[in-house]
Structure formats: C-alpha cells, structure tokens
Structure 1
Amino acid sequence: MILVTGGTGLVGSHLLYKLLKTNDKVKAIYRREHKLELVKKVFAYYTTDYESLYQKIEWINADITDVPALQIAFKDIDYVYHCAAFVSFEPDKYHQLRKINIEGTANVVNLCISHQVKKLCYVSSIATIGHHQNPQQLITEDTYWNQDGDNSVYAITKYGAEIEVWRGTQEGVDAVILNPGIIIGPGLWHSGGSSGLIKKIYKGMPYYTHGVTAYVDVDDVVRAMVSLMESTIKNERFIVISENLSFKEFQDQTASALGVKPASKEATPLILGIGWRLDWLSRLFTGKRRRLSKQMTKSARSITKYDASKLKNTLGFEFKPMQVSIEENCQLFLEDLKKES
C-alpha cells in the first residue's frame, strides 16, 4: 500500500490522481477537512469520474509532527511519498518551519525504518542546492550548498529535512529526493505558494525584476516522482525543472495568457530595500504576516540557473515547455474564475 503525506497540497493532490489510475490501495494524510474539496477540484480537471476516484482514497487525519497519529497512517504501508511541508520565507517562522520540515520529516523517516517501508520519495526544493559564483554556470545536484551562506529559513529547514532522509538511507530505507523549481499547477489559486502566482499576476503585479530561477509543471513533478519510485534507482537526488526563466519573462508570458497588462516598472535594489524595511515595520506594528523579507528581495535579483540533465539522461525524461504549462494553467484559472462569478 502507498502513503502520501500532504495529500491536499498542490503536488499531493496531483500525485493522488496519478496513483489512483493504477493503484487501488492508497492512503493519504490530511490536516484540515475543508481542504479535501480541493482534491476533488483537482481531480475534476482531468476526469468526469472524479468522485468515484476520490472515494478510493483512505484518508487519515494526522499531522507529521504527531507520531501517534502517524503510527496509524503507516499500518501496512510499503511505499511513502512525503509531500507535506510548510513553505514560508518569513524569518520569524523559523521555529515552526523547523518543527514541520525537519522534525516532521524525521518522524516520517523513523516510521519508514520501523515499518520496513520499501522506498521513500521526498519532495524537497532547488532551495537546498548550492549556487555558483558565476551566475551563468548551471547548477547541478553536485553543486555545494554553503550552510554558512545567506540562506532563507525555508532553505535551511528543507536542507535539514534532506539530512533526515539521508540518515534513513543509512538505516535501511531506500529513498529518492526530488528538487523541483517553482511548481506551476492548477487548483490552489488562492494559496500563498507558487499556485497563487497566476492569481497575483491576474490581479496586477506592477513591478518586475530581472532575477532568474527555474520553473516546472506539476504534472512533470508527479511523473518524475512515480517514475523514480517504480525504478530501481535509490539513494539519489534529482533536480526537476523544465526551464530557467527571469521573473519578468514568467510574468510577461503569464500576463499575456491571462489577457492582462504585464508589469511595467522595474523593482530596483533601492525600491526593494525600501520595500522589505517597510514590510518589517508593518509586521512590527500591525502583526500582519511578512510579504517581503530581505532574503526574498535578494532572491528576486539573483540569477540562478539549474540543470535537469541527470533526470533527463537517467529516465529519458522530457519536460513540458513552460509556455505550454503557463497557457494551460491560465486557461484553467480563467475558467474557474467564470464559475466563481
């Protein structure tokens, strides 16, 4: 039997759909009951028979930081896809990030060991891969990650989670780690993560930067996960990205697909510097969540280009072009917008 943690998230919900097409025995963990409807919504993008497919899932209400609840979820489990995580770049969320991303992953790994799980798939991030001094040099799985560098709190805790997975491989659990770029996919338009990017651009993002990072379609992430789990490959990591795009390129392509005006003002270092300081003051006096940290402004300007050759060469994997992904997802967003109005 298969267990999926984070079953109501972007990756988890799309993974469940793919798994259920070929597997009858799938368990999934959820924390908030109202998010279960999002899974049905995702299924409905791909099939009219989404209700019967959804009913095949054995849902377990659990938190990866709650070991007794996890013990129940792990009964009779052979394979685990660990998708659950907390995503935040707010410095004051560090302890919460540690608890969920590192301690939660340690709990999952420990139960994989004690239940003699055959294989574990962990969804990490390109945030845990190092950078080169030369921004034009492609980043690979072997690029050194400087633990003493100016890393975001999210990157630090996801890196710590990877350490827990590698520990598990030393204690008898076969594992694969995926490091996807910014994941684009439908369904969770109102979330604060990558799924919310299309909605933000639709509502209007006046500023752009020339920073570069990597993007990938959620379907490619899911296909890579399943392919690696079904293969004999073990105890290796893979960068999962389709293309390296500047933030301006992504915004322009998305705005065009949505039929809205693209960003027209460059967010210069001065503007970004003022922005994160004002955001810090707003947090201090109002208690509102941070929307722009110093680390985020640094990432917005940095040029980081990643190389997915290892995955392509190992599996003969082909990625969906980002232009196609953007157009498909924008179309689904606009259709959902009509339904809501």
Structure 2
Amino acid sequence: MILVTGGTGLVGSHLLFKLVSNDSSVRAIYRRAHKLESVKKVFSYYTDDVETFYNKIEWVEANINDIPSLEAAFIDITHVYHCAAFISFEPNKYHELRKINIKGTANIVNLCISNTVKKLCYISSIAAIGNEPNEDTLVTEKTEWNPEADNSVYAITKYGAEIEVWRGTQEGVDAVIVNPGIILGPGFWNAGGSGSLFKQIYKGLKFYPKGTSGYVDVWNVVDCMTKLMNSSLKNERYILIAENLTFKIFQDKVAKALNVKSANKEASSLLLSVAWRLDWLSHKLFGKRRKLSKQMAKSISSKIVFDNSKLKKELHFSFTPIDDSITRVSKYYLDESG
C-alpha cells in the first residue's frame, strides 16, 4: 500500500488522482477535514465522477508531528510519497517551518525505517539547492549548498529535511528527492502558491522583478515522482524544471492568457530594498504578516538558471512546454472567476 502525506495540497491532490486512476492501493493523511474539499475540487478538473475516485482513497487523520497517529497510518505501507510541507518565507515563521519541514520529515523517515518501507519519495524544492556565484553557470544537483549564504528560512528548512532523507538512506531506506521549481497547476488560487500568481496577475500588477526562476507543470512533477518510484533509481535527487524564465516573461505570458494587462515597471533593487524594510517595520509596529523578506527580495532579483538534463537523461523524460501549462491553468482560473 502507498502512503501520501500532504495529499490536500497542489502536488498531493494531483498525485492522488494519478494513483487512484491507476488503481493503486492508496492511503492519505490529512490534518483538517475541511481541506478534503480541496482534493475533490482538483479531482473535478479531470473527472465528472469525483466521488468514485475520491472514495478509492483510505483517509487517515494524522499529523506528521504526532507519532501515534502516524504509526497507525504506516500499517502495511510499502511506499511513501512525502509531500507535506509548510511553505513560508516569513522569517518569524522559522521555528514553525523547522517543526514541520525538518522534524516532521525526520518522523516520516524514522517510521519508514522501522516499518521497512521499500522506497520513499520526498518532494523538496529548488530553494534547497545551492546557488552558483556566477550567473552564467547552470545550477545542477551537484551545486553545493552554502550554509554561510543569506538563505531564506524556507530554503534552510527544506535543505534540513533533505538531510533527514539522506540519513534514512544510510539506515536502509531507498529514497529519491525531487526539487521542482514554481509548480503550475489549477486550484488553490488563495493558497500562496502558483495559483495565487495567476490571481494576482489577473487583478493587476504594476511591477515585475528582474530575476529569473524555473517553472514546471504539476503533472510533470507527479509523473516524475511516480516514474522514479517505479524505477530502479534510488538515493538520488532530481531538479524538475521545464523552462527557466524571467519573471517579466512569465508575467507577460500569464497576462496574455488571462487577457489582462501585464506589469510594465521593473522593481529595481533599490525599490525592493526599501519595500522589504517597510514590510519589516509594518510587521514590528502593527503585527502584519510579512509579505517581502530581505532574502525574498534578493531571490526575485537574482538570475539563476537550473539544469534539468539529469532527469531527462535518466528517465527519458520530456517536459510540457510552459506555454501549454499557462494556457491550461489560465482557462481553469477564468472558468472559476466567472
């Protein structure tokens, strides 16, 4: 039986749909019952028979930091997809990020070891991969993490989670790690991921950052994860990027697909420097949530290019063009926004 953590998120819900479509025996854990509606919403994009597919999943209420509930979820499990994570770039959320991303992953790894799980797939992030000092140098799976760099709190905890997975491989658990970039998929328009990017662009953005990032379709992520789990490949990590694009080009493409105006002003380094300081001050004075940290301002201004050749070579994988992903996701958004 397969166990999926984080099944109520973007990747997890798409992964569950693929697994049950293939008649796999699947168990998924959830923390809050109302989040299960998000899974049904995602399923509705791909089938009219939502309940039939949804009811194929054995749902277990559990928390990745609650060992007793996790132990029950691991009964008879042979393969684990660990998708659960806390995504935040707010510096004040560091301890919560550590608890969920690092400690939670350590708990999953420990139970994989004690239950002699055959294989673990962990979904990490390109944030956990080191950056090359030279902008012209491709970032690969071998690019070394620099602990002395001014890394974001999210990146630090995703890297820490990867360390826990590598520990598990030393204690007998075969594992693969995938490092996707910005994942494009429908739904979760208010959740802070790529869905919210489509929503923000639709409502109108004035500025675009001058940096670059890597993008990938959610179905590519899911397909790579399942192919890796069903392969003989083990104890390796893979960058999942279809294309590297500037934020300007990405925003232009999405705006065109949504039939709205794109941002036409570059957010300079000086502007972002002022913005993150004002954001910090607003948090300190009024307790408002951080929207822009120093590390995020630096990240969205950086030109980082990721190399996906390892995955393409070892899995003979072809990525979906980002234009196709944007068109598809934009259509779902427009259909739902009326």
- For residue 108 of structure 1, what is the amino acid of its counterpart? I
- What 5-or-longer segments of structure 1 have no aligned partner? none
Which residue of structure 2 aligns with residue 241 of structure 1? Answer: 241
Match of 2:308 in 1: 308
In structure 1, distance between residues paired with 2:226 and 2:266: 40
The alignment status of 1:3 with 2:22, answered yes or no, reads no
Unaligned runs of 5+ in 2: none
Offset, 1:144: 1.0
* Structure 2 partner of 1:212: 212
2: CA distance, partners of 1:210 / 1:276? 16
CA contact (8 A) 1:211 1:301 kept: yes
| Secondary structure, counterpart of 2:300 in structure 1 | helix
1:21 maps to: 21
- Find the counterpart in structure 2 of residue 85 from structure 1: 85
Q: Which residue of structure 2 aligns with residue 39 of structure 1?
A: 39
Residues 182-226 of structure 1: per-residue CA shift (max 9 Å, x gap): 111001111112221111111111101220110001000000000
SS of residue in 1 equivalent to 2:188: coil
Match of 2:282 in 1: 282
Q: How far does residue 228 in structure 1 lie from its aligned partner after superposition? A: 0.1
Native 8 Å contact 1:10 1:195 kept in 2: no
Note the C-alpha offset of 1:24: 4.0
Q: For residue 326 of structure 2, what is the aligned residue in structure 1?
A: 326
**Conserved in 2, the CA contact under 8 Å of 1:183 and 1:195?**
no
CA distance in 1, matches of 2:330, 2:195: 11
Aligned-partner residue type, residue 151 of structure 1: N
Query: Which range is displaced more, 188-197 or 300-309?
Result: 188-197
Q: Distance in 2 between matches of 1:219 and 1:291?
A: 28
* Structure 2 length-normalised TM: 0.99
Corresponding position of 1:56: 56
Matches of 1:45 and 1:122, distance apart in 2: 25
CA distance in 2, matches of 1:58, 1:148: 44
Judging changes above 3 Å, is the alpha-carbon distance between structure 1 residues 331 and 177 closer, same or farther for their aligned structure 2 residues?
same
Distance in 2, matches of 1:169 and 1:88, equals 27
Rounded to whole Å, the distance in 1 between the matches of 2:26 and 2:336 is 28
Q: Are residue 122 (structure 1) and residue 146 (structure 2) matched? A: no
Which deviates the most, 236-245 or 199-208?
199-208
CA distance in 1, matches of 2:219, 2:19: 12
Give the C-alpha shift of residue 13 in structure 1.
0.2
SS at match of 1:158: helix
SS of alignment partner, residue 157 of structure 2: helix
Q: CA offset at residue 137 of structure 1? A: 1.3
Separation (CA, whole Å) in 2 of partners of 1:203 and 1:260:
8
Q: Distance in 1 between matches of 2:229 and 2:102?
A: 22
Match of 2:76 in 1: 76
Amino acid at match of 2:128: T
Cα pair 1:30 1:62 within 8 Å, conserved: yes
Cα distance in structure 2, aligned partners of 1:24 and 1:97: 31
C-alpha RMSD of the superposition = 0.8
- How many residues were matched structurally? 338
Residues 281-317 of structure 1 show CA distances to partners (whole Å, capped at 9, x for unaligned) of 1111221210011111101110100011000000110
Cα distance in 2 between the residues matched to 1:24 and 1:184 = 25
1:274 Cα deviation (Å)? 1.1
Report matched runs for 1:244-283 at 5 Å: 244-283=244-283
The SS at the match of 1:36 is helix
Output the amino acid matched with 2:79. Y
Runs of 4+ residues deviating >2 angstroms? none
Matches within 5 A, 1:290-301: 290-301=290-301
Could you tell me whether the CA contact under 8 Å between 2:2 and 2:77 is conserved in 1?
A: yes
Name the counterpart of 1:193: 193
Give, in angstroms, the shift of residue 152 of structure 1: 0.6
For residues 306 and 65 of structure 1, the distance between their equivalents in structure 2, rounded to whole angstroms, comes to: 33
The one-character-per-residue Cα deviations of 1:134-183 (angstroms, maximum 9, x if unpaired) are 11211110011111111111010000000000000000000000000011
